[in-house]
């Protein structure tokens, strides 16, 4: 499978080269990365080939327009500025953008909806003496410098609480930040590097005993840095949320939601009324909730899962098998490890031959925890233990051999605990099926051109054919190779794009796999998680809504790469000869070296290429002699026809046409006997007998 994906990616790279790698827009970073709702914000994107944009794709709410108050905006290849304006009630969180031009669609970059006012980092704040003065609350947009640290100064009152967090890895930056809080004498009060909830990003809450000036030092833990090592440093009085508890609520119901995280003692729980949603192929949807302190400054986002299935919550004490929480083995159960080495037991009843899948979820929900699931029968004997999945979760598939109660034990693999150590276990029938992964999250293709999607399959109890299809596209898209054959683990879906899509436009689509398994229809959506992680500097948990939401950008028509020529565009055909031949020469452009198929179109009745299967200029060759067969009796005159050459270069079809004329002339003596044109006999020498 690795070889297959590598080969397909090589094809994709060649195609990008043909379209012009330097011409496809590339986004490096955005300034600012934070958008304040309710007011217009100019965001400047830097990168390559950004001139003449046709639009900004984003899943942000609100509008995005090319800023009209920026000189030469939209004409420069290295920067472009868009004015973004979001509704005042926009939920905070991380969102995505891509820039389109007439050459195609850019890579993905991430922005943050944030209600803190924004300032830019000063250019020389690389010492305490030159620390940049800040007015709280505030968010600072900056970039780490190699082998340097940056300093910020602010003033607080006695007893004031301050939340500090860095958004870097969570917005796709390569920066691995650390933060130090210093007093006015340079003594370290707080040091924050990696955080269990945010991975490499730093965060902390501190309450100051004394009023005065304080400093923050920030940098990359490895001393790396350049303009791409972006960060958004947030300072204010806002909750540092890890996750909601419970993690999910049944669609259409009202749930009491508690935010978990750092120092959230006075953050009230909220009642969330979840809408009746149309869940995706994974059976869940997501609801963003705003979390803020009463009278605080700034907020955080709580992302809640909504599902049409039953949602259950653990009840303590359930840290022994005898006190296991009773649950129904459908839907999901939400739990948390209240303290280190906490263990949660859940009891449920099944029938013999029931086949269940139990999936523990943390990392796929942005929670940096690792679970271990173990299952015991009514006698306390272990009958199954979870195994890792492709998304770094823990899963048990089990066919039950007996009726009766069973007990599930859920543990943190490292024995960690605390109020924000939450998790979710989903129960579902363990039906035979498969999962799919695509080789990329974005595809650029010439107008009316062809692109390929590498699709890898992981099979679970099903070995039959898998039908591939695209959703959210119209019938004008043509598919080939739309089946992963029986027993195979990979396939290539070839897609021809309709010419009605102009350069600079884009489409969002999904790849789905379908099969009928034991008379039951099965369908799943392909994941693009691996590609997104790569596109976002190995980000552990890209925004879940981007997974499987593939993007197609339309570029210009693929350049012509074949031309045909002949020495004489008039082909002489003597009457009664029955055939004629002529030489065709090909000019190869754009480094094209493949075979060229030749077809004669609109020939008069009775004429044909003598060997149509041989009408092929072979790879690496540039000419061929073609032979036409002709009726023995055909009227004199000129008969126009077209010689068409076709080939394929970097997946793209090419076609060229040459206008020629058949000229039927009177036969030359002996031509009919010799089957061709008779050369004229030489004139007799002077003095010879005639």
- Which residue has 């204010």 as its token pair? 236
Using one digit for the tens of pLDDT, what is the confidence trace for 666-689?
A: 986 544 443 444 444 444 444 444
Using one digit for the tens of pLDDT, what is the confidence trace for 594-620?
A: 999 999 999 999 999 876 656 899 999
pLDDT at 21: 43
Sign for the CA dihedral angle at 268, 269, 271, 272 comes to positive
Of 108, 114, 170, 168, residue with least CA distance to 137:
114
Using one digit for the tens of pLDDT, what is the confidence trace for 391-444?
A: 678 999 999 999 989 999 999 999 998 888 999 999 999 888 999 999 999 999
DSSP, res 544: G
Find out whether 52 and 75 touch, Cβ atoms under 8 Å. Answer: yes
Identify the residue with better confidence: 225 or 271.
225
pLDDT band at 307 (very low <50, low <70, confident <90, very high): confident
Which residues 6+ apart lie within 8 Å of 682 measured at CB? none
Using one digit for the tens of pLDDT, what is the confidence trace for 521-578?
A: 999 999 999 999 999 999 888 888 899 999 999 999 999 999 999 999 999 999 888 8
Find out whether 112 and 169 touch, Cβ atoms under 8 Å. Answer: no
Sign for the CA dihedral angle at 17, 18, 22, 26 comes to negative
How many angstroms separate the CA atoms of 490 and 499, rounded?
Answer: 29
Find out whether 462 and 517 touch, Cβ atoms under 8 Å. Answer: yes
CA dihedral 297, 365, 112, 208 (to 10 degrees): 30
Class of domain 311-418: mainly beta
E strands, 615-651, in order: 616-617, 623-629, 637-649
Which residues 6+ apart lie within 8 Å of 516 measured at CB? 522
pLDDT at 198: 81
Neighbours of 621 (CB within 10 A): 13
pLDDT at 678: 40
Find out whether 92 and 115 touch, Cβ atoms under 8 Å. Answer: yes
Residue 187: asked if its preceding bond is cis (omega within 30°), the reply is: no
pLDDT band at 273 (very low <50, low <70, confident <90, very high): low
pLDDT at 9: 41
Residue 317: asked if its preceding bond is cis (omega within 30°), the reply is: yes
pLDDT above 90 covers a percentage of the chain that reads 71
pLDDT at 379: 94
Distances (CA, A) of 4 to 8, 11, 467, 487, 492: 6, 11, 19, 15, 9
| Least confident interval from 148-152, 210-214, 363-367, 610-614 | 610-614
pLDDT band at 195 (very low <50, low <70, confident <90, very high): confident
Fold classification of 434-555 is Immunoglobulin-like (2.60.40)
Query: What average pLDDT does the segment 624-633 reach?
Result: 90
Query: What average pLDDT does the segment 40-49 reach?
Result: 97
For 503, the 3-state DSSP assignment is coil
User: So where are the chain's domains?
Assistant: 118-237, 311-418, 434-555, 562-674
How many angstroms separate the CA atoms of 392 and 396, rounded?
Answer: 13
Which residues 6+ apart lie within 8 Å of 486 measured at CB? 463, 464, 465
Which residues 6+ apart lie within 8 Å of 272 measured at CB? 249, 254, 255, 256, 257, 287, 289, 304
Would 118-237 and 311-418 be classified into the same CATH topology?
A: yes
Find out whether 584 and 621 touch, Cβ atoms under 8 Å. Answer: no
pLDDT band at 390 (very low <50, low <70, confident <90, very high): low
Neighbours of 159 (CB within 10 A): 10
pLDDT band at 344 (very low <50, low <70, confident <90, very high): very high
How many angstroms separate the CA atoms of 127 and 108, rounded?
Answer: 34
Q: Which CATH number is 562-674's, of 3.40.50.1460, 2.40.440.10, 1.10.3720.10, 2.60.40.3450? A: 2.60.40.3450
Query: What average pLDDT does the segment 161-178 reach?
Result: 96
Query: What average pLDDT does the segment 460-477 reach?
Result: 90
Of 540, 664, 604, 638, residue with least CA distance to 176:
540
Which residues 6+ apart lie within 8 Å of 87 measured at CB? 37, 38, 61, 62
For 88, the 3-state DSSP assignment is coil
Of 431, 425, 368, 418, residue with least CA distance to 194:
368
Cα–Cα–Cα angle for 566, 571, 575, rounded to 5 degrees: 165
Residue 14 pLDDT exceeds 50: no
pLDDT at 277: 55
Find out whether 486 and 527 touch, Cβ atoms under 8 Å. Answer: no
383 burial type by CB count under 10 A (0-12 exposed, 13-18 middle, 19+ buried): middle
Q: What are phi and psi of 169, to 5 degrees?
A: -60, -30
The number of C-alpha atoms within 13 Å of 612 and in the hemisphere containing its C-beta is 8
CATH no. for 118-237: 2.60.120.380
Find out whether 177 and 221 touch, Cβ atoms under 8 Å. Answer: yes
pLDDT above 70 covers a percentage of the chain that reads 91
Residue 8 pLDDT exceeds 90: no
Query: What average pLDDT does the segment 1-21 reach?
Result: 42
Say if strands 520-525 and 506-517 run parallel, antiparallel, or are unpaired: antiparallel
Q: What is the mean pLDDT of the chain?
A: 89
Phi-psi region of 306 (alpha: psi -120 to 50; beta: other; left: phi over 0): beta
Distances (CA, A) of 349 to 183, 354, 399: 59, 10, 13
E strands, 102-156, in order: 104-105, 109-113, 118-120, 132-133, 138-143, 150-156
């Amino acid at each position: 499978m690795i070889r297959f994906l590598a080969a397909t990616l090589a094809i994709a790279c060649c195609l990008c080269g043909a379209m012009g790698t330097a011409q496809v827009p590339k986004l490096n970073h955005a300034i600012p990365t934070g958008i304040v709702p309710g007011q217009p914000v100019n965001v400047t994107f830097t990168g390559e080939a950004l001139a003449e944009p046709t639009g900004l794709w984003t899943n942000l709410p609100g509008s995005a327009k090319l800023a009209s108050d920026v000189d030469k905006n939209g004409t420069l290849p290295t920067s472009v500025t868009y004015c973004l304006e979001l509704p005042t009630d926009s939920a905070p969180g991380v969102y995505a953008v891509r820039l389109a031009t007439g050459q195609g669609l850019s890579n993905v970059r991430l922005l943050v909806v944030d209600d803190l006012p924004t300032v830019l980092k000063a250019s020389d704040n690389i010492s305490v003496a030159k620390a940049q003065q800040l007015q709280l609350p505030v968010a600072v947009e900056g970039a780490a410098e190699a082998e340097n640290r940056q300093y910020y100064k602010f003033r607080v009152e006695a007893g004031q609480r301050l939340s500090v967090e860095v958004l870097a890895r969570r917005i796709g930056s390569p920066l691995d930040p650390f933060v130090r809080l210093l007093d006015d004498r340079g003594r370290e009060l707080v040091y924050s590097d990696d955080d269990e909830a945010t991975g490499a990003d730093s965060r902390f809450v501190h309450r100051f005993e004394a009023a005065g000036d304080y400093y923050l030092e920030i940098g990359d833990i490895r001393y790396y840095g350049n303009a791409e090592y972006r960060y958004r440093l947030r300072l204010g009085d806002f909750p540092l949320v890890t996750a909601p508890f419970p993690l999910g609520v049944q669609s259409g119901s009202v749930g009491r939601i508690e935010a978990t995280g750092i120092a959230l003692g006075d953050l009230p729980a909220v009642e969330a009324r979840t809408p009746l949603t149309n869940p995706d192929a994974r059976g869940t949807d997501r609801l963003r909730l705003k979390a803020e302190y009463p009278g605080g400054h700034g907020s955080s986002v709580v992302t809640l899962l909504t599902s049409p299935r039953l949602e259950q919550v653990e009840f303590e004490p359930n840290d022994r098998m005898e006190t296991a929480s009773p649950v129904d083995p459908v839907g999901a159960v939400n739990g948390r490890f209240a303290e280190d080495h906490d263990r949660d037991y859940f009891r449920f009843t099944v029938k013999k031959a029931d086949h269940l899948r139990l999936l523990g979820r943390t990392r796929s929900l942005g929670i940096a925890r690792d679970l271990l699931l173990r299952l015991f029968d009514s006698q306390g004997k272990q009958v199954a233990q979870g195994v890792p999945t492709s998304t770094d979760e823990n899963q048990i598939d089990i066919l039950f051999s007996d009726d009766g109660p069973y007990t599930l034990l859920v543990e943190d693999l490292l024995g960690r605990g605390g109020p924000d150590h939450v998790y979710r276990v989903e129960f579902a029938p363990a039906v035979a099926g498969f999962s799919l992964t695509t080789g990329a999250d974005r595809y650029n293709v010439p107008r009316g051109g062809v692109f390929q999607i590498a699709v890898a399959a992981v099979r679970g109890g099903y070995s039959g054919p898998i039908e591939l299809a695209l959703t959210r596209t119209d019938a004008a898209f043509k598919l080939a190779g739309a089946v992963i054959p029986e027993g195979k683990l990979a396939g290539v879906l070839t897609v021809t794009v309709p010419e009605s899509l102009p350069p600079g436009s884009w489409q969002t689509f999904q790849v789905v796999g379908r099969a009928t398994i034991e008379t039951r229809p099965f369908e799943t959506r392909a994941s693009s998680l691996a590609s997104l992680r790569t596109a976002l500097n190995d980000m552990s948990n890209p925004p879940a809504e981007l997974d499987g939401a593939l993007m197609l950008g339309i570029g210009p028509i693929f350049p012509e790469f074949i031309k045909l020529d002949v020495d004489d565009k008039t082909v002489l055909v003597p009457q009664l000869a029955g055939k004629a031949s002529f030489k065709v020469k090909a000019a190869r452009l754009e480094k094209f070296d493949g075979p060229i198929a030749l077809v004669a179109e609109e020939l008069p009745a009775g004429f044909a290429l003598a060997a149509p299967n041989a009408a092929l200029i072979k790879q690496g060759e540039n000419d061929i002699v073609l032979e036409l067969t002709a009726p023995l009796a055909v009227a004199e005159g000129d008969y126009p026809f077209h010689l068409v050459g076709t080939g394929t270069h970097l997946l793209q079809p090419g076609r060229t046409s040459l206008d020629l004329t058949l000229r039927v002339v009177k036969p030359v003596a002996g031509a009919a006997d010799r089957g061709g044109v008779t050369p004229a006999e030489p004139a007799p020498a002077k003095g010879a007998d005639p």
